Chains A and B, each alone.
Chain A
Amino acid sequence: MRLVASFKTLFALFASLMATSSSANNIIHTEKSLYRNIIIYEEGDQRCMSFSQRDQSARQTCKSLSDPNAFVFTYTKMMMGALYLNPNPRKVLIIGLGGGVLPLALAAMYPETAIDIVEIDPAVVKVAQQFFGFNPGPKIRIIEEDGRVFAKRAGKAGQHYDLIMLDAFDHQYIPEHLLTQEFLLEIKNLLTSDGVLAANTFSTSRLYDHESTTYQSVFGAFYNLRVQYKNRIILVKLDGLPNRDVLERNAAALEEKLRPLGFGRDWLLPLFSTDPDWKPDARILTDQYSPSNLLNSAL
């Protein structure tokens, strides 16, 4: 009797496993890396990289199969808003590779620009190359390293970038040592005197307030781009934020270059805000105090 019962349990387990895999039969690749599970799947016209099977919002990168140049995600479009602050970057640093959408677009727009990409997870680099057509040209350098370690070493070596993009967060996990005042000071130290920083952050929780005051403590005023309270992009220029006229002029000059990515200034420019919509007294995050994930999950 017991034996039958355990067989039944086993069968039920097996059946549910089958059901899981058949409902996700568009999965084309899965991989366990040192840091996470990587799942590549196709859905409709899109191929996506996700770090979680169940959760749609865990998508890291998606690519349109019919129009591979166009950006699928809103946040990548908003990140390109950095170009409205500096339309001619010559040396770019990107921390966090994902599917390589941002560096590919930048390399297509600026063939002469040197791009350094720092990615902690070798498996992500491999998958980006295999499944997202990320074939780095001679101007692109990939460094497999923790972003903080790279920033510290590059700073000591006196390196500078005129555009830095921080894209190392997702909604589930924030590398806490990449969201502190000290880290941002190291990033600031890597910017040229007129350099621009674009940061993709994910806070919808009370972390939003802490993140805001932390960035403000290092950079002063910044442009804040938000859509539907999901992604939030922070744009900073070291020699001061350009005013609306400058933004519009740069946006007009970039309109043709950005069109293949699937958006334009009519959509992007109105998102630029300098409204401080956070609690100004939120505690600043430092290397000594950085419970970012706790703050992000707490209500």
Chain B
Amino acid sequence: MQRVLIFLIAAWSGFFVMAIELLSGRILAPNFGNSIYVWGGVITVFMLALSIGYLLGGRWSLHHPSLPRLALLLMLGAASAIPVILLGDGMLDWVFDQVPDPRYGSLLAATVFFFIPTAIAGMVSPYAVRLLVQHPDSSGHFAGLLYFFSTFGSAAGTILTSFYLVLYFEINQILSGLIGISLLLGLVATFIGNRENAPGR
């Protein structure tokens, strides 16, 4: 059960990151346009955040790794995306006024909004590998499985968001849905993790 949840969290985390990344282009366009450098800035920020997230996630997995803590990462990542909904336009307007060059404006705005949620999402994968691997012999197997689920989730998040979700929902509705599902999945994993690890079992 725990193992299924770990894979599910990794897949959902991949979905979450790519859905947010696609929407971020939309969110920035009214202030910074749709030029190639806006996408360049967005992708840079997401890649940088993921790379640092991997580093931190691996580090954190050294100390008392557990499913509830993995769930906590998922929920923190989701919660840190809430300001995008609440502060959205005001914050973007502020950056627009401060930074005249739309290249650095979009880079700054993408950093402010998306660096922390993406970095925390990046922590999920290495942390999950630690939870899955019991023996060095199977470490590659589990790492492969985890990459599969996480990247498959990313692909699903990309196509569902760009082909369908934007056709039916507003950006903030999609964001709220993504955050809601993350929190829900995190709560379920916390509950199950605590129950299965409870003393006496």
On A, residues with C-beta under 8 Å from B are: 34-35, 120, 145-149, 152, 156, 175-177, 180, 182-183, 286-291, 294-295
Contact (Cβ within 8 A) A175 B97: no
Q: How many residues of B contact A (CB 8 A)?
A: 20
A127 to chain B, nearest CB (A): 18
Segment of B53-61, B134-142, B163-171 engaged in the interface with chain A: B163-171
Count: A-B pairs, CB below 8 Å = 59
Q: Assuming A156-B97, A288-B171, is B166 touching A177 (CB within 8 A)? A: no
Tell whether B51 is near chain A: CB-to-CB under 8 Å.
no
Chain B residues with CB under 8 A of A288: 170-173
Tell which of B30, B36, B163, B170 touches A177, judged by Cβ atoms closer than 8 Å.
B30
B96 and A152 within 8 A (CB): yes
Asked if B32 CB lies within 8 Å of chain A CBs, one says yes
Closest B residue to A177 by CB, please name it: B29
B20-36 Cβ-contact flags toward A at 8 Å (1 or 0): 00000010011111111
- In the complex, A148→B35 CA distance in Å? 11
A182 contacts B166, CB within 8 Å? no
Chain B hits for A295, CB < 8 A: 167
Closest B-chain residue to A146, C-beta based?
Answer: B33
Residue-wise, chain B 71-99 has the 8 Å CB interface mask toward A (1 for contact) of 00000000000000000000000001100
Nearest-neighbour CB distance to chain B for A205, whole angstroms, equals: 13
Write the chain A residue with the least CB distance to B28. A177
Residues on the A chain within 8 Å of B171, using CB: 287-289
Closest to A180 in B: B30
Min CB distance A217 to B, Å, is: 16
Instruction: Give, as a whole number of angstroms, the nearest-CB distance from B25 to chain A.
Output: 10
Q: How far is the CA of A291 from the CA of B167 in the complex (A)?
A: 6
How far is A176 from B28 in the complex, measured between Cα atoms in Å?
A: 12
Judge if B102 is at the interface, Cβ distance under 8 Å: yes
- B166 — which chain A residues lie within 8 A by C-beta? 289-291, 294
- On whether the beta carbons of B170 and A152 are closer than 8 Å, the reply is no
B36 touches A148 (CB 8 A): no
Q: List 22 A-B contacts (CB under 8 A).
A: A34-B35, A35-B36, A120-B33, A120-B35, A145-B33, A145-B102, A146-B102, A148-B29, A149-B32, A175-B34, A177-B26, A177-B34, A180-B30, A182-B30, A183-B30, A287-B171, A289-B170, A289-B171, A291-B166, A294-B163, A294-B167, A295-B167
7 additional contacts (CB under 8 A) given A35-B36, A182-B30, A287-B30: A146-B32, A146-B102, A149-B31, A152-B31, A177-B33, A177-B34, A287-B171
What are the residues of chain B within 8 A of A294 when measuring CB–CB?
163, 166-167
User: What are the interface flags for B148-170 relative to A under an 8 Å C-beta threshold, 1 for contact and 0 otherwise?
Assistant: 00000000000000010011011
Q: A149 and B170: CB pair below 8 A?
A: no
**Given A148-B30, A176-B29, does the pair A286, B170 have CB atoms closer than 8 Å?**
yes
B102 to chain A, nearest CB (A): 5
Report A236 CB to chain B, min CB distance, Å.
Answer: 21
Q: How far is the CB of B182 from chain A (nearest CB, A)?
A: 21
Chain A residue nearest to B169 in the complex (CB): A289
| B79 → chain A closest CB, angstroms | 22
Q: What separation, in Å, do the CA atoms of A294 and B36 have in the docked complex?
A: 20
User: Is the pair B36, A34 in contact by a Cβ cutoff of 8 Å?
Assistant: yes
